[in-house]
Amino acid sequence: MMEARLNELEAKLAFAEDLIETLNQTVIRQQGQLDSLQQQMRLLHQRMQDARPDETPTLRDELPPHY
């Protein structure tokens, strides 16, 4: 009886260790994806900043279109 319980616990432990390793690999993969997406967002943000004109608006730019 005791040996059967011990075998069951060992099997559960082996399953839990396998699951933890699988979850760790998933987290590692997702972190890599997040890092890549963050880098892409930084590059897109920089491109948008670079494409934005540096001109300061003049009073004429703020006039309504019917003038």
- Is residue 61 pLDDT above 70, yes or no? no
pLDDT of residue 37: 98
Using the predicted structure, report yes or no on whether residue 47 has a pLDDT greater than 90: yes
8-24 pLDDT per residue, tens? 999 999 999 999 999 99
Return d(Cα 30, Cα 37) in angstroms, integer: 10
Q: How confident is the model at residue 52 (pLDDT cuts 50, 70, 90)?
A: confident
Mean pLDDT of the chain: 90
The CB-side HSE value for 28 (13 A sphere, CA atoms) comes to 6
